[in-house]
């Protein structure tokens, strides 16, 4: 029986940790969490906000950002998130195709696709 989602992992190229920290912690306001020592030696970084956990792992060969696959991040105050991202030089693309939600997509500093969404009415479970 599946009981929940522990984390989502995205890939990043070697040496990208500084850009990832600036974006995920600095722009999005997530908290960086320490990796266990055996995993920290591999590089990358982990972030969380509320129950959301994102792991950014280093792809040592042939890194290609996820352009279709993506985490969907539910937010409160989606307009403020879009404004904040754009103020930091990250373009957003609004999408009206999901009934009952406002949403947009953007790319993180290494090109991974991210979706931000907020329900129009009362939050759904």
Assess if residue 3 is contained within a domain. no
The CATH number linked to 25 is 3.10.180.10
Q: How confident is the model over 5-60, as pLDDT tens digits?
A: 999 999 999 999 999 999 999 999 999 999 999 999 999 999 999 999 999 999 99
The count of domains in the chain is: 1
Cα dihedral 93, 98, 99, 100 sign = negative
Structural domain of 15 = 8-59+66-119
Task: Band the pLDDT of 123: cuts 50, 70, 90.
Answer: low
The reply to whether 23 falls in a domain is: yes
Cβ partners under 8 Å of residue 109, min gap 6: 16, 19, 20, 22, 23
Residue 1 located in a structural domain: no
Residue 125 lies in a domain: no
Give CA–CA dist 56/59, Å, rounded: 9
């Amino acid at each position: 029986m599946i009981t929940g989602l522990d984390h989502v992992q995205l890939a990043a190229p070697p040496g990208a940790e500084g850009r990832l920290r600036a974006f995920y912690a600095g722009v999005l306001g997530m908290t960086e969490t320490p990796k266990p020592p055996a995993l920290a030696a591999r590089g990358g970084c982990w972030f969380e906000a509320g129950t959301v956990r994102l792991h950014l792992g280093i792809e040592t060969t042939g890194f290609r950002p996820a352009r279709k696959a993506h985490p969907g991040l539910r937010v409160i105050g989606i307009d403020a998130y879009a404004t904040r991202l754009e103020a930091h030089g990250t373009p957003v693309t609004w999408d009206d195709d999901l009934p009952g939600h406002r949403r947009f997509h953007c790319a993180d500093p290494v090109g991974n696709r991210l979706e931000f969404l907020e329900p129009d009415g009362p939050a759904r479970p």
